Amino acid sequence: MQYYQPSSLSDAVERLQEADDAKIVAGGQSMMPLLRQGLISPDALVDISAVPDLDSVTVADGTVEIGALVTYTELLAADPCAELDLLRDSVAAIGDVPVRNAGTIGGGVSHADPAQDLPPALQCYDAAVVSFDGEETRRHDVTEFFLDYYLTELAPHEIVTGIEFEQPPARAGGAYASDTEAPGGWSTAGVAVLLVPDEDGETIADARLAYCAGAPVPQRVPREVEEHLIGETLDRETVDEVGRAVIDDLELIDDVGDDVEYRKHLFRVMTKRGITTALERSSAPPLAEAPQ
């Protein structure tokens, strides 16, 4: 196996094009376990950790730009995480401190693990995954970016360079609720919620929900389900309805030792928890009891 550490993005793309089967590595938190388990055996590893200009977090004219080499720990310390509850929740839920210290935003998104915590939050922000193929820069809708288990729409020689999304209004509230079998482990149910009240702060003008670990890819909830939360003051009955609708959208696999009905219960609980917390963090009225 050949190992390369290019000093430019163009050089990295060239290395990918030259090899029959090359893989990109940066923090190594996704790649190294696969190598150790013998699940992959590429001809070459292209280490992009020395490529410049991919390690910053900026906010300009309301647009958040996160470089592919930004680690989860660095993102947690950046201003957007201090201001955006949903982003902070989802990044803080990833692994443990060593994983967050080494793992990178671009590596996690490229790896496309269906149980990863960050993608549902990015889907709620309508984010774009930015990539470079040696000739042009592309922007992929983050929901369409994931095709199947560990499969994205990236070309074999294309490299993720960052993430971009528009900041939601200050009156918005977001939350990420998840459950794991063990501290620092993969989520068994994760639900991201972003609620945007109207300008008067009386009702919900927009609602976005997405989840991980419930389908082959991180999944945005169908729009008709999100619309249940729009236009009225939220009550517990409405939140219950949305929780049941999310369960109906799941594509859970009945693996050995994996109780599908229990996981459905977890998703319902996480959906209700995420909506309730997002509402509390927004300028909208608190959750009301169901009408009699």
Which CATH number belongs to the domain containing residue 13 in this structure? 3.30.465.10
Residue 212 and residue 149: Cα distance in Å, rounded?
Answer: 12
Same domain, 49 and 157: yes
Same domain, 55 and 153: yes
pTM of the predicted protein model: 0.94
Structural domain for 89, as ranges: 2-113+126-166
* Structural domains in the chain (count): 2
| Calculated CA dihedral for residues 255, 261, 264, 269, nearest 10 degrees | -130
Same domain, 15 and 105: yes
**CA distances, 163 to each of 9, 68, 125, 156 (Å):** 16, 7, 11, 19
Same domain, 181 and 259: yes
Which CATH number belongs to the domain containing residue 209 in this structure? 3.30.390.50
Same domain, 8 and 149: yes
Q: 98 lies in a domain?
A: yes
Structural tokens at position 226: 């999100």
Same domain, 160 and 179: no
Residue 111 and residue 148: Cα distance in Å, rounded?
Answer: 11
Same domain, 153 and 185: no
Same domain, 179 and 259: yes
Same domain, 146 and 206: no
pLDDT tens, the chain, 292 aa long: 888 899 999 999 999 999 888 888 887 777 777 777 776 677 888 999 999 999 999 999 999 999 999 999 999 999 999 999 999 999 999 999 999 999 999 999 999 999 999 999 999 999 999 999 999 999 999 999 999 999 999 998 999 999 999 999 999 999 999 999 887 788 999 999 999 999 998 899 999 999 999 999 999 999 999 999 999 789 999 999 999 999 999 998 765 456 899 999 999 999 999 999 999 999 999 898 866 4
